[in-house]
Structure 1
Amino acid sequence: MTDNPISNAVAVRDNSPQGLIEQYRGDFTTVLPSHVKSGTWVRLAQGVLRRDKNLAQVAQRNPGSFMSALLECARLGHEPGTEAFYLVPFGNEVQGIEGYRGVVERIYRAGAVKSVQAEVVCENDTFIWTPGKVDRHEPPRWDGPQAVPFHDIDWFGDRGKVKGAYAYAIFQDGTPSKVVVINQVYIDKVRKESRGSDKASSPWVKWYEQMVLKTVARRLEPWVPTSTEWRKEQMRAAQQVAAEGHVTQLPAGPPPPVSDPDEVVEGELMDDDTAA
């Protein structure tokens, strides 16, 4: 009697966390931003399990939570298990937590800003920020106290406890974004709403300042673009406008050369696979 090949395939299916990552490669590919190659991303996700035995054990017990965390990581376009996106075991489940670096990466990835400034403010720092008090007779200055906060830090002294944080971005034309400032009350509120924030394994315990920076960077998100897809749409729109304008003015000539909207930006994730 001939064995049923479908039954045999089911019997030997690898249901380990590593195997599930491979099985659901298509789902991850669907949500991954276009600048991330699925081959590289899958290998990175599998590598995290080999490096962290505790994470692998929890993922084995609760693969659903692990896969959900990876799906969110893929949607945001981050490398799993890095400072951009933490995979943290909480009891019997895996929680995915975007880090400060991840938020900033998404801001840079959009291509609308050339720099992001975010700092924690401590008790012994000098911090001055008076929004709205701008001399209308003076030209705008992105590097002056009228436009962005003044923050003087003694990097080698005792700065005291963290009492707040601020963040802003500088757009490509040199103008600043809205400045966002958070105080200790707001930080404590966000931490309280974070599940397991008092546990030793929580990023709020292990990397407190990084979580404060992430909190203020999140407050900056509504004021700056944070999507690579947004950048591609802007480039496509610019191409369309340029092409339409050229056709109207010079109908006999070819459209001017434009940059490839799918070109990978330096510093973003790239696949090291070689096309067959």
Structure 2
Amino acid sequence: MSELKDRVKLATGQAPADDEQSPVTDLALTDQSMAWLQSRATYFTDALPRHVDRAHFMSVARAIMPSLSRCTDYSITSALLACARFGLEPDGRQAAIIPYGDTATFQPMYEGYIELMYRHPRVDTVHFNWIRKKDQWDYTPTDPSPRDFFHKPRVDLTEEERGKVVLAYAFAWIDGRRSQVILLNHSQALAIRNKYSKAYAKAEKNNKRDSAWHTDFDAMWAKSAVRRLVKVVPTSTELAELIQSDDDADEATSVPSVIRGTVISHDDAEAQAPGQQQAPTSWPEAAQPGSNEAGDES
């Protein structure tokens, strides 16, 4: 199992892949981090939108605190406040808070973008999925909606038997009508990466191959498809802010100066918590849900 999956599992309170090799939890640091979170609970819950359950949000936050014990207070505050302001739970599905060295990093996931789309009163549903090689599907843009597109996964086959992922797609139903279908193939995802991602270009230049596009290609592929859907659905202010903050993070030269996805001010900088140690900051390797061609530029 990939290091990224292990980090996300740690951040969501799940066991890592190799339990026998997992470090022993420092109970003193855990107690300290829980006390730190509890003392600032109101700070985060006051930032939550009204529809988000405050007790549940704090429960999810408590579950990820042990994995953040070596991160700075400021980065944890920034990441959790970003989640709270956008109303996204740091559960590894809507968003994740992943420790990179001593920095807790807010990372919006494609389900987080979908969650924000749902909040617009005109949006009825939002759908995202992968099309695999042996699935039944067709797209005829000249046909009237919704007859122009269909996808029927092969439920009689396993995911592996269905073959490699060939397309990501997303669409929404708005005021009872289906939106344009966004289709994004592997080559198009590569083109988006090469044209727009400064983080990818920097990693290539430094020969590190540690950007999200290098190590979690399919997640970025999925997010790119969902972000294209933003252009054809009613857009809220908070969704526009999430996109802008995600873009700002990609352009950042160092993670501590711009926490991924956050829109908070720098008024709340705090001292580093005791017991923290510096580790190399990088995007760890990730397992691919589809073609396993994360670094393939062909």
Work out whether the TM-score is over 0.5: yes
- The residue that corresponds to 1:185 in the other structure is 187
Structure with bigger RCO (C-alpha 8 Å, 6+ apart): 2
Amino acid at match of 2:69: Q
- Following superposition, the deviation at residue 176 of structure 1 comes to 1.0
TM-score, scaled to structure 1:
0.57
User: Aligned partners of 1:40, 1:203: CA distance in 2, in Å?
Assistant: 32
1:213-224 map, 5 Å: 213-224=222-233
Change (3 A) 1:111 1:228: farther
- The residue that corresponds to 1:80 in the other structure is 90
Q: Does 1:165 align with 2:168?
A: yes
Change (3 A) 1:72 1:39: same
Post-superposition Cα deviations, 1:123-177, rounded to whole Å, max 9, x if no partner, equal 344543233x24xxxxx542x12xxx2334324163332233111111242x111
Identity percentage over the alignment?
Answer: 28
- The residue that corresponds to 1:122 in the other structure is 132
Change (3 A) 1:104 1:21: same
Contact 2:94 2:110 in 1 (8 A): yes
Contact 1:106 1:228 in 2 (8 A): no
1:1-276 map, 5 Å: 16-49=32-65, 53=66, 55-59=67-71, 62-131=72-141, 133-134=142-143, 140-142=144-146, 144-145=147-148, 149-155=149-155, 156=157, 158-173=161-176, 175-188=177-190, 193=197, 209=218, 211-225=220-234, 227=236
- Following superposition, the deviation at residue 116 of structure 1 comes to 2.0
User: Aligned partners of 1:30, 1:220: CA distance in 2, in Å?
Assistant: 30
| Structure 1 stretches lacking a partner, 5+ long | 1-14, 135-139, 231-276
Amino acid at match of 1:87: I
TM-score, scaled to structure 2:
0.53
Amino acid at match of 2:115: E
3-state SS of paired residue (1:88): strand
User: Aligned partners of 1:34, 1:204: CA distance in 2, in Å?
Assistant: 37
Post-superposition Cα deviations, 1:172-201, rounded to whole Å, max 9, x if no partner, equal 42x11122222213423566746789669x
- Following superposition, the deviation at residue 225 of structure 1 comes to 3.7
Please identify the structure whose Cα radius of gyration is greater. Answer: 1
